[in-house]
Amino acid sequence: MSGLEEQMKKLARLPPNKSCADCGQKGTTYVNVSAGTFVCSGCSSVLLSLSTPQRVKSVSLSKFSPDEVKFVASHGNAAVNEHLLGRLGSDVDVPTPQVCACTGEKVLVKTQRRLRPGKNMKHNHHSAL
């Protein structure tokens, strides 16, 4: 295992990243390298099925580039969710672990908002390619 994969695993073990960024379920096994967040397997399936799929990789089985590790390290679940939930407003329900595997609507709304980063979040345009 290279140092980059070990760095990504360390990021996944940080307390805010141990729960899915999209639904809150404990035990993240995937990283959305387009957004810089860690997600559960149910939400990773939803993200991959979008018409503009997110780049989702297995934390334990994938190889990572230096740019991907740097991008995820500079974002993470807490920072991205704080930014996104502030932009979504109180009228949008955040998905829960009970609904994430059976419906993607809430994850979709959140992800669409993520595709237009605000001025408070640094965004690496190359990471979303």
Q: What tens-digit pLDDT sequence spans the chain (129 residues)?
A: 679 999 999 999 999 999 998 888 899 999 999 989 999 998 888 888 877 777 899 999 999 999 999 999 999 999 887 876 665 555 655 555 554 444 455 555 555 555 444 444 444 333 333
Whole-number pLDDT of residue 24 = 86
Whole-number pLDDT of residue 86 = 62
Whole-number pLDDT of residue 58 = 96
Whole-number pLDDT of residue 82 = 80
- Residue partners of 89: CB distance under 8 A and separation at least 6: none
pTM strictly above 0.85: no
- Reduced to 3 states, what is the DSSP secondary structure of residue 14? coil
Whole-number pLDDT of residue 5 = 96
Whole-number pLDDT of residue 120 = 41
Whole-number pLDDT of residue 117 = 45
Region of 55 (left: φ > 0; alpha: ψ -120 to 50; beta: rest) is: beta
Whole-number pLDDT of residue 71 = 95
Dist. CA 3–CA 19, nearest whole Å = 23
Dist. CA 25–CA 90, nearest whole Å = 21
* Pairing of the two strands 30-32 and 56-58: antiparallel
